[in-house]
Amino acid sequence: MELDLRALEEMYAYPSRSQPWIRTNFVTTLDGAAFASDGLSGSLGGPADTSVFALLRSLADVIIVGAGTARAEGYLPVKREEVDADLRLRLGLKPVPPIAVVSLSLNIPVAMIAPGQLVITTADASPARIDALSEQVDVIAVGEGEIDWIQVKSRLAAYGMNRVLCEGGPTLHGCLIEQDLVDELCLSIAPVMASGTAPRTAHGPSAVEHTMTLGHVLQVDELLLTRWVRSRSSSD
Ligand SMILES: NC(=O)c1ccc[n+]([C@@H]2O[C@H](COP(=O)([O-])OP(=O)(O)OC[C@H]3O[C@@H](n4cnc5c(N)ncnc54)[C@H](OP(=O)(O)O)[C@@H]3O)[C@@H](O)[C@H]2O)c1
């Protein structure tokens, strides 16, 4: 099946909200591995997953990523040619979404220490590192011992960054799931069995059971592009 990018824009449109909506995007093998034998996830989904990955970036105000993924995958700030300029103009978005690297150690890849980018960490992270990073990037340092995600969401809302895209990895995803902060999961299921030692797309110390509702499922050749929305009661 050919991808109709215009139709996909509507299928992946963010809901209109005045609060951040956290969408996570992952690819997995049939047996649940979050990366291929090269230790990276990019090769798993093929061209259709790559197209959706780019579309989701084009729709986002901000991309958050764990420092582990930023280091493993050699993250770089998003370039203008990597996103759909017309789409962003139509939606009233800035030309490119910044990337917010999440880290406790503040071992941030040098390429990500660039004006316009963000770092999310705790208030009790190394003051010297926070000071040094703050000269180049916007540092959101909230929470003691662990990041206070409610405060992170408030800060992102204050910046007008309500369309949040989380590109992983499994440690960050596990934390967001545990705290019931994932509003939507975009999951590509690749027609591959992997075994090996790769983790699932989320892990953490505590198991939870958060029900999701199917938004859509698309088949492109043997790849399944799925979208799941968190089912919350009105009191949530
Ligand atoms: N299948 C997929 O779609 C997909 C998507 C993304 C990544 N991946 C793969 O996942 C692997 C990386 O896994 P990972 O679990 O190491 O990824 P990760 O969650 O990106 O990185 C873990 C690191 O990020 C920081 N971090 C994450 N959550 C945090 C939190 N709640 N609070 C503070 N810091 C936090 C910490 O950095 P510090 O160590 O700096 O404190 C932590 O050590 C890579 O091989 C990548 O290719 C797969």
Q: Supply the residue whose CA is at minimum distance from atom 34 of ligand 1.
A: 103
Ligand 1 near 107 CB (within 6 A): yes
Q: In what order do the strands lie in the sheet with 212-220?
A: 138-141, 118-121, 99-102, 62-66, 163-166, 21-29, 184-190, 223-230, 212-220
Ligand 1 near 198 CB (within 6 A): no
Among 30, 37, 53, 102, residue to substitute to test ligand 1 (most atoms within 8 Å of Cβ): 102
SS3 content of the chain, % helix, strand, coil (to 5): 30, 25, 45
The domain segmentation of the chain, as residue ranges, is 5-9+17-230
Q: Choose which CATH entry (3.90.1150.10, 3.10.129.10, 3.40.430.10, 3.90.1150.200) describes domain 5-9+17-230.
A: 3.40.430.10
pLDDT attached to residue 41? 87
Q: Quick count: other Cβ atoms within 10 Å of Cβ 84?
A: 17
The residue to which tokens 């499994």 are assigned: 170
Which parts of 33-167 fold into alpha helices (H)? 42-58, 67-72, 85-91, 127-134, 149-158
Residues paired with residue 186 on neighbouring β-strands, in sequence order:
25, 227
Q: Quick count: other Cβ atoms within 10 Å of Cβ 182?
A: 20
In sequence order, which residues have a C-beta less than 8 Å from that of residue 165 and are 6 or more positions away? 23, 24, 25, 56, 57, 59, 60, 62, 63, 64, 97
Per-residue pLDDT of the chain (236 residues; tens, 9 = 90+): 677 888 999 999 999 888 999 999 999 999 999 998 888 888 898 999 999 999 999 999 999 999 999 999 999 999 999 999 999 999 999 999 999 999 999 999 999 999 999 999 999 999 999 999 999 999 999 999 999 999 999 999 999 999 999 999 999 999 999 999 999 999 999 999 999 999 999 999 999 999 999 999 999 999 999 999 999 875 55
- Radius of gyration of the chain measured on its C-alpha atoms: 17
